[in-house]
Amino acid sequence: MPNDVPSQNAATLVLLPGLHGTGNLFRPLTDRLPRDIPYQIVAYPTDQRLSIGGLACRVADRLPPGPVVVLAESFSGLVALELLAQKRHTIQGVIFCAAFARTPHPLLRGPVRRLTLPGRWLQLLPGPLLRAFALGRHADPRLTMSLRRALVEVAPAVLAQRLRLIAGADFRMDGSFAVPCHYLQAGRDRLVRPRSARWFAHHFVPFHLHRLDGPHLLLQARPRRCARLIASICRAWQS
């Protein structure tokens, strides 16, 4: 049974959201996290176009005192990598979910840059496409609506800039991060190819891969399974 009060030695799980950056889509996951896993969500501005470095500085300024475990979802994998490179905080471990260090799919490089008003276009995607590419074809309609609300909350120009950051992503470094890393790979991800995990395997020591059946938004589509796995990872780092 989980403890009602987190251990004094428990690391705070800091959740960094996907492209929309609002943090609102973490609710299915956080509702299922055991009580002994303290967490904090760091959201991104909905009306400011910040670089990956700027977003990393924002996160660094909002990290809680004490030990921290970073959970970076999708787009935020780039932010977490920059945060680690800045070395402004001692991070006990990092969990990447459907993340990437380089453009996750070659089709994103050209089309995203050529689209006019790509942020607005993303907000207007019909439900079937949102489910097919992000949530799974049989996703709960309420979850589809939550995703649409999260996208609409963000200024189209901000979404467009983040899409271009993804299209041009190419994080480079020499050597490896000496930070324990777990990578949650969505088995039916239609946006991030499986090979994206290889970069993390080559640049983190130690590295652990967890392949789970589910779509790109794995934390939302499989919250119970993800919560159990994340809790076990955090507890192992506490012991």
Of 4, 10, 197, whose CA–CA distance to 98 is shortest? 197
Q: What was the pLDDT predicted at 127?
A: 84
164 in Cβ contact with 73 (< 8 Å): no
pLDDT at residue 130, as a whole number: 86
For 150, list phi and psi in degrees, rounded to 5: -65, -40
**Confidence at 4, pLDDT banded by 50, 70, 90:** very low
Secondary structure class of 57 (helix, strand, coil): helix
Whether residue 130 contacts residue 124, with contact meaning beta carbons closer than 8 Å, is answered with no
Q: Which tokens is 110 given?
A: 């050209």
Token pair, residue 225, equals 């399974």
Residue appearing with tokens 């395997």: 201
Is the domain 12-238 a CATH 3.40.50.1820 member? yes
pLDDT range class, residue 128, cuts 50, 70, 90: confident
For the question of whether the overall pTM of this predicted structure is more than 0.75, the answer is yes
Q: What is the pLDDT of residue 7?
A: 55
Tokens matching residue 31: 């509702």
Closest of 64, 65, 58, 112 to residue 80, by C-alpha: 58
Mean pLDDT, range 50-73, rounded to an integer: 96
| Residue 13 pLDDT | 98
68 vs 180: CA distance, rounded Å: 12
**What is the band of 113 on the pLDDT scale with cuts at 50, 70, 90?**
low
Among 76-80, 93-97, 188-192, name the one with the lowest average pLDDT: 188-192
Cα–Cα distance for residue pair 67/89, rounded to 1 Å: 9
pLDDT band at 114 (very low <50, low <70, confident <90, very high): low
* In the predicted structure, residue 218 carries a pLDDT above the cut 70: yes
Sequence-ordered list of residues with C-beta below 8 angstroms from that of 239, at least 6 positions apart, any chain: none
How sure is the predictor about 112, in pLDDT bands with cuts at 50, 70 and 90? low
Residue 54's H or E segment, with its range, is: helix 52-62
- What mean pLDDT is reported for the chain? 90
